[in-house]
Structure formats: C-alpha cells, structure tokens
Structure 1
C-alpha cells in the first residue's frame, strides 16, 4: 500500500511516475499498457518509455506490513 501525502507534503515531493505491480499501468509516452518488467524498471513494449518500479526504487513510499 502506498503512502498518502498531505497537500503541503505534495508540494515538496511532486508527482512521481511509477510502475505499480498488480495495477493497470498506462504508458505516459504512448498510452498503451504492455510492459517489459525488470528488477528495477518497467519499459513500455511500444515506445520504450521506462518507469521505476514502485517497490524496488522507492521502498520509503511503501507501508511497512
């Protein structure tokens, strides 16, 4: 589960494009949904746009379970 930020925290964090496992991920470059998923990034199969994986690159955004 992801961390929810308050409006004041969002100003300092900003918007982050991330690949989220087990969710529908549309490519920000072309809008399609086919991905090559690696250990740290997911790459769009059509245009090559790469996104970091949520749980590998930013573990601080994950709730400790």
Structure 2
C-alpha cells in the first residue's frame, strides 16, 4: 500500500468532495480517501500497482481535473 496525493481543481464545496470520493472509492484496493475542497487536495491509500491514470480518470468522471503531487 502507498499513500498518494493529488491536486484537484474545480472543487468548491462538500458536494464536490462527495462526488470525487464516490468515484475514487470505486477503484480496486483503495482503503482510505481524504478530500478537501478548500485545499484542492485528494489523498488516498491504495495498492502500489494502482495506476495514477485510473485515479485521475475517476476524478475527471466526477467533473474535476487532477494531477499527482
């Protein structure tokens, strides 16, 4: 397992956080998700072999943009 952090743009409220959380929690092996609209951050704990592209695609599915930091 590894912890990763992403900068997420476009989130403004708790509903935005929930949308991101709902998409990311569907990824296999993700065990912890922390989303902060005010900080524009997403932090997850996931298997080391989980592809960043999959996490970014999940965030995009929620309607936001993300990059790993």
TM-score (norm 2): 0.28
Which structure has the bigger radius of gyration?
1
Between Structure 1 and Structure 2, the one with more strand by share is 2
